[in-house]
Amino acid sequence: MTSFGVVHRVRRLTGVRRVGHGGTLDPAADGVLPVLIGPATRLTELVHEWPKTYRATLQLGATSTTYDAEGVVTPRSDPSRVNEAMITALLPDFVGHIAQVPPLYSALKVGGEPLYRKARRGETVALVARPVQIIGIALRSFDQATGRAVIHVQCGRGAYVRSLAHDLGARLGCGAYLAALTRTAVGPLQLADAVLLGTLEQAGPNWERWLLALDLPLRDWAAITVDAGQALALSHGQPMGPQPVAAGRYRVIDETGRLLAWGVIDAAGRFAPAGVFPP
């Protein structure tokens, strides 16, 4: 199932039209998919900023046109010469802010169209390396006989674990592709706390029991507290007066702590809302 497929089913379940997700999962992958409902869709950008954590299974000794098991797999060289120490020694080279070439078969858009559509038509596309952040990588296990390696990856927005698998295989000289992928966390959201889509659907009208707090992506932010009159004005789209705080991103709350808005304050103290949540 695609991530949009999940969104479609949640729309049908909840009856809410405004539903989105917080980070695409390839159909061959599983794991944590944040779903944003109603006013929470105004926080999608912030959920995308959360780091993502994966458990990735790599198959050494071959490459794939899609960099994963869904593509055409071509054997390269016997991976039995690769040992655990060789893999561990290379992993630090992929940590930090690196340049990464995305897979040709990906949802990344070029000229307003996803790359995978161009690839399916046989078009030649010059892929350009993009800056991404790999926060950490660790080897969890390696079976030298089968060439299967399991790694733990934490990365920032826009990073492709498929590309990471492909590039690691190239550095090892034997080729590699992503055989399986599970997203184990998105920011504070852990796989152990995730709800199966089937469980959600079976709950019927009780689906709301699994809703998380709207302000979850902003809880570590500095807050500006306004009184009832200012809260009402803000909900009607009226600007806030200059704020005596440093420039930066802020959440706006009322005197009870309820989230009213989030946005950016400039050097002159003016607040530009990026998302407003009327009562």
Which sequence positions are flagged as catalytic?
A: 26
Where do the H-state alpha helices sit in 112-220? 115-120, 161-172, 197-202
**Alpha-carbon gap, residue 105 to 117, rounded angstroms:** 8
**Alpha-carbon gap, residue 38 to 208, rounded angstroms:** 12
**Alpha-carbon gap, residue 272 to 279, rounded angstroms:** 19
Q: Are 90 and 211 in contact (CB under 8 A)?
A: no
**Alpha-carbon gap, residue 195 to 32, rounded angstroms:** 9
Give the residue from 255, 278, 191, 259 showing the smallest Cα distance to 219.
259
